[in-house]
Every structure is written in C-alpha cells, then in structure tokens.
Structure 1
Amino acid sequence: MIRFATMSAAAAIVCAALSSQPAVARTPYDGPWSVVIITDRGTCDRAYRYSVQIVDGIVRYAGEMGMDFRGRVGRGGAVSVSVAAGGSRADGRGRLGRDYGGGTWAGYGSTGRCSGRWTAERR
C-alpha cells in the first residue's frame, strides 16, 4: 500500500530536524516549512501534513519513518524531491515563493499508482 513514504515525496516536499539554534539562511527558501500532501488519484490516504526544513537549498525530513529522502530547491524556487521506503517510491516537483509554494507528486507502492498535489507554507 502506498503510505506515508509516497505521500511524503510530494512535498514536499519535505521534512527536517529543526535545530534549537538559529540558522543563517543561505538561500531565500531556507528555514522551516509546513507541507500538505493531497491525493487526487489512486488509493493512497487522502491527505497528510508534514514539517520540512530547507538548509542551503536541501530539503530534509524530520520524521522517523526510515525513508530515503532526497530533495533540492534550485534557483527561482524550483523544487524536486524523491522519497523511497520499503516498496514505495514517490517523486514531487513544484515551485516555492518567499512564503508559499506548491506542485504535484506521483508515486507507486503495493496498491498501485497514486498522484496528487502539494502546498507549502513557511513557518
């Protein structure tokens, strides 16, 4: 079944451990974000919300799900993320602005393919 790992890839996008010390932003997108993943097609759970941390343009996941999570925010806010866990995999793409962003995701798992959209808000 496509679960948490597949949904996480969209986002976005994206989660990381938050440090208790203030970080100096090196890209305009660095810092904590909240990401909402919504499934539009397939048998994945309908929606999830995740915390995300972007550091030097690299998207990091803070959860403890044992996922292989890779993501990057490029110039102009273009976001690309891939997540894999167990037999599930998902890829997300989109764009971030100064405080908001969004995009699409698609993935597969034991129950088949799913896809949808994601939105992000700076925290």
Structure 2
Amino acid sequence: MRRNRIRPLICVTLLSAAATAPAFAGHPYDGQWSVTVVTKNGNCEPSTSSTLTISDGRVSAPGAAISGTIGREGLVRVSINGAYANGHLNGNSGSGKWNGASAGVPCSGRWEASRQ
C-alpha cells in the first residue's frame, strides 16, 4: 500500500519540476554573422564580405553552396564553394584561416566574423 502512495507523489513531483524547468537554450552562436574574408596568398578575390546564418550550430547563406558546423565551444569547420575554413568563435566575434583555389591555383588567407 505504501508503494501505491509513493508512485503518484514521484510522478507529480517530476511533472511539476519539468513544467517549471527553463526551456532548452539554443546554440550559443545561433544568429546572423557578418564575415569578411581576406586573401593573403594566391590570385583569389582580394577581399569579400557576406552574411551567414548559424542555426542550431549549422551554417547557411542564401544562394551559396555552404556546409559546416560551429561547435558549442565555438570551433568552426566550414566548406563554401570549394574553399575550406576553420577557426574559432568566442562571444560575438571570431577569426580563422581558409584555403581554396582560383582557376586551379591555390590561395589562402584569413577570415573575421562579428555577430550582427
């Protein structure tokens, strides 16, 4: 008989705790980011800027063949139009390196990002 009283009490306690728990927070880097890419070596475009969106840790941009992720700790791993970038986001900014090719000639450089 004692077990029959404890089970409903445990269920009510768990349900009330779940109802008052905060909602699961999104990815810490979700949002719009302004990214500037600068070529240091090679014949790629000297500099370009664009806006990227991070949603649930996944990177996207309208009209771009982009794939990649941002880890919860800010680790960046992205591929865009045949170029590869890695680096780190911290708070509202970040930076890293990229490499790719233009007409088969290798090029590389740095990128910087800031949250909009």
| Alignment TM class, shorter chain as reference | 0.7 to 0.9
- 1:71 paired to 2:68: yes
Taking the TM superposition and a 5 Å limit, the aligned residue runs for 1:46-85 are 46-62=46-62, 64=63, 67-84=64-81
In structure 2, how many angstroms separate the alpha carbons of the residues matched to 1:98 and 1:90? 25
Q: Which runs of 5+ in 2 are unaligned?
A: 1-23
Larger radius of gyration: 2
Give the structure 2 partner of residue 10 of structure 1.
Answer: none
Between Structure 1 and Structure 2, the one with more helix by share is: 2
TM-score by length of 2: 0.75
Q: Which runs of 5+ in 1 are unaligned?
A: 1-23
- 1:101 paired to 2:94: yes
TM-score by length of 1: 0.71
In structure 1, how many angstroms separate the alpha carbons of the residues matched to 2:35 and 2:73? 19
Moved over 2 A (4+): none
Deviation of 1:40 after TM superposition, in Å, equals 0.2
**Aligned Cα RMSD in Å?**
1.6
Taking the TM superposition and a 5 Å limit, the aligned residue runs for 1:1-123 are 26-62=26-62, 64=63, 67-84=64-81, 89-123=82-116
Deviation of 1:61 after TM superposition, in Å, equals 1.1
Q: How many residues align?
A: 93
Which structure has more relative contact order (CA 8 Å, sep 6+)? It is 1
